[in-house]
Structure 1
Amino acid sequence: MTPSEIDLVITDRRTFAAGTTFGEAGAYEMLRGRARFGVDPQAEAQSAVCDITLAPVDDRGLVRFEADFAILRPVDLPRGNRRVFFDYGNRGNKRALQFFNDAPPTNVPTTAADAGNGFLMRRGYSVAWLGWQGDLLPGDGRMLLDVPVATEQGRPITGTVRAEYIAVEDGRKVFPLSTLTSTRSYPAASLDTSKARLTRRRYALSPREEIPHHRWAFARLDQGGGVDGQGLEQAVIPSDSHLYLPEGFETGWIYELVYEGRDPLVLGLGHVGVRNFVSFLKHGETDAGGKANPLRDNGAAVEKAYAWGRSQTGRCIRDFLHLGFNADDQGRRTFDGVMPHVAGAGKMWMNHRFANLVLLPGQEHENHFSPADRFPFSYARSKDHLTGQEGAILSRPETDPLVIHTDTASEYWHRHASLVHTSTDGKDLALPENVRMYLWGSSQHFAAPIVPAPSKGIAQEYFNIVATSMFFRALLDRLDAWATDGTPPPASRIPMRADGSLATHDEWSAAFPAIPGVVTPRGPSSLELLDFGEGIDRGLVTKEPPELVDGKTYAVLVPAVDRDGNDIAGLLAPMAQAPLGTYTGWSVRQRRYGSGAMLGITGSYIPFPDDEEERAQTRDPRPSVVERYGDAEGYVAAIAAAAQALAADGLMLDEDVARSIAEASDWGRPRHDVRLPRNPMEKAS
Structure 2
Amino acid sequence: MFAALTTAALPAAAVITEISVLSREPYGEFAAGKFVKVEVEARGTLSPTEKIPGLDKAPRNAAGLVGYKVPVTLIIPEMPTGGNGTLIVDVPNRGRAVSHGLYNSPRARPIAVGSLDQGIGFLQDRGYSLAVVQWELGEGPALPMFESGGKKLYAEGVGFAAVRDVALFLRRDSYERVYGLGYSQTARFLKSFLVNGFNEVDGAIVFDALHVVNAAAGGMPLLDAGPGPTSVASETPGHTNAEHRGVHEEPFTYGEVMKVAGAKYKKLPLVMVNHTYNDYMGGRAALTRTGTKGTTDLPIPDNVRMYDIAGAPHTMSRTKNADCVEGQGQLDWAPALRAQLVALDQWVKGKAAPPANKLFALEARPTDPEVFQAPKYLSGAVVMVPKLDRDHNPNSGVQLPDILVPIASHGYMNSPLSVMACRQAGTYRPFVKEVLEARYPGGINEYMGKMRLAVQQLVAERVLLEEDAVVIVNAAAENPSFVPTRPRARGATTRN
TM-score, length basis structure 2: 0.87
Structure 2: stretches of 5+ with no match in the other structure: 1-11, 488-496
The structure with more radius of gyration? 1
Cα 1:331/1:463, change in 2 over 3 Å: same
Residue 144 of structure 2 is aligned to residue 148 of structure 1? yes
Identity, % of aligned pairs?
24
Q: Residue deviations 1:398-453, cap 9 Å, x none? A: 232100000001111111111111131221111110000010111110023xx36x
Is residue 610 of structure 1 aligned with residue 433 of structure 2? yes
Among 159, 176, 181, the alignment partner of 1:270 is 159
Distance 1:486 1:349, change over 3 A: farther
1:422 alignment counterpart: 290
Instruction: Mark the CA change 1:426 to 1:108 in structure 2 (over 3 Å): closer, same or farther.
Output: closer
Which one of the candidate residues 496, 501, 524 is aligned to 2:371?
524
The DSSP-based 3-state class of the residue aligned with 1:69 is strand
Q: Of the candidates 354, 357, 363, which is equivalent to residue 492 of structure 1?
A: 357
Displacement of 1:526: 2.1
1:352-395 CA deviation, whole Å, 9 max, x = no partner?
A: 2338356352122356524211011111039xxxxxxx965665
- Aligned-residue CA RMSD (Å): 2.7
The DSSP-based 3-state class of the residue aligned with 2:205 is coil
Letter in 2 for 1:627: A
Q: Using the alignment, how far apart are the partners of 2:283 and 2:306 within structure 1?
A: 15
Q: Give the deviation of 1:81 after TM superposition.
A: 0.8
Q: How has the CA–CA distance of structure 1 residues 413 and 309 changed in structure 2, closer, same or farther, with 3 Å as cutoff?
A: same
Q: Contact (CA 8 Å) 1:364, 1:598: kept in 2 or not?
A: no
CA 1:134/1:485 → structure 2, altered by over 3 Å: closer, same or farther? same
Whether the aligned pair in 1 keeps the contact of 2:101 and 2:115 (CA below 8 Å) is no
Corresponding residue number in structure 1 for 2:403: 576
Mapped to 1, the partners of 2:380 and 2:35 lie a distance apart of 51
Secondary structure of residue in 2 paired with 1:37: strand
Does residue 105 (structure 1) correspond to residue 108 (structure 2)? The answer is no
Aligned pairs, number: 468
8 A Cα contact 1:29 1:73, kept in partner:
yes
Hey, what's the Cα distance between the residues in 1 that align with 2:451 and 2:240?
Answer: 36
* Counterpart secondary structure, 1:150: strand
Q: Structure 1 residues 32 and 3 mapped into 2: Cα distance closer, same or farther (>3 Å)?
A: closer
Corresponding residue for 2:331? 466
What residue number does 1:405 align with?
273
**Aligned letter for 2:315?**
F
Q: Deviations over 1:547-599 (max 9, x none)?
A: xx8xx252110011112221111111111111112112622328xx78xx994
1:68 correspondence with 2:71: yes
Shift of 1:529: 4.7
Structure 1: state its 5+ residue gaps. Answer: 137-143, 158-262, 284-295, 383-389, 496-500, 510-520, 531-548, 612-623
SS of 1:280's equivalent in the other structure is: helix
The residue aligned with 2:7 is none
SS in structure 2 of the partner of residue 651 of structure 1: coil
Q: CA deviation at 1:65?
A: 0.8
Secondary structure at the counterpart of residue 290 of structure 2: coil
- C-alpha displacement of 1:77: 2.5
The structure-2 alpha-carbon separation of the partners of 1:411 and 1:394, relative to structure 1 and needing over 3 Å to count, comes to farther
Does the residue aligned with 2:154 lie in a helix, a strand or coil?
A: coil
* Contact 1:409/1:440 (<8 A) preserved: yes
| Amino acid corresponding to residue 423 of structure 2 in structure 1 | G
CA distance in 2, matches of 1:92, 1:641: 41
Contact 2:261 2:268 in 1 (8 A): no
Secondary structure of 1:80's aligned partner: coil
In 2, distance between residues paired with 1:361 and 1:274? Answer: 22
Other-structure match for 2:188: 315
Q: Residue 342 of structure 1 is aligned with which of 196, 205, 214?
A: 214
Specify which of 347, 359, 362 is matched with residue 502 of structure 1: 362
Q: Give, as a single letter, the amino acid of the residue that structure 2 aligns with 1:344.
A: A
Matching residue of 2:37: 30
Report the counterpart of residue 167 of structure 1 in structure 2. none
Alignment map for 1:497-576 (pairs within 5 Å): 501-505=361-365, 521-530=368-377, 552-576=379-403
2:214 and 2:395 map into 1 onto residues whose CA distance is 19
Report the CA distance between 1:486 and its aligned residue.
5.2
Rounded Cα–Cα distance in structure 2 between residues aligned with 1:678 and 1:366? 50
CA distance in 2, matches of 1:654, 1:396: 40
**1:482 aligned partner:** 347
Matched-pair contact (CA < 8 Å) for 1:332–1:399:
no
TM-aligned CA deviation for residue 632 of structure 1? 3.1
Q: Deviations over 1:266-287 (max 9, x none)?
A: 111010000000111112xxxx
The residue that corresponds to 1:287 in the other structure is none
CA distance 1:407–1:70, shift in 2 (3 Å): same
Q: Does 1:642 align with 2:454?
A: yes
TM-score (norm 1): 0.64
